[in-house]
Amino acid sequence: MNEIKQFAVYIKTDIEAVKHALSYSWSNGIVEGNVNRLKVIKRQMYGRAKVDLLSEKVLYQFQ
């Protein structure tokens, strides 16, 4: 129960952001997902490939 109270207090500190998040119909979730995917590929390929192979791996995902 203490965790719920802490969460409620935290939400109250930025209530305007919470209101905006609930009132707008759009989201940047798609963009954030793509950025995360690119970062994962970059980490996997670090030190193993040059830019040409990295770009091929990224573009292959979209086909």
- Where do the structural domains in the chain lie, given as residue ranges? 2-60
Q: Render pLDDT for 2-46 as a digit per residue (tens, 0 to 9).
A: 899 999 999 999 999 889 888 988 878 888 888 898 888 888 878
Does residue 62 contact residue 50 with C-beta atoms inside 8 Å?
A: no
Alpha-carbon dihedral 49, 55, 61, 63, rounded to 10 degrees: -130
What integer pLDDT is reported at residue 15 of this predicted model? 92
What integer pLDDT is reported at residue 4 of this predicted model? 92
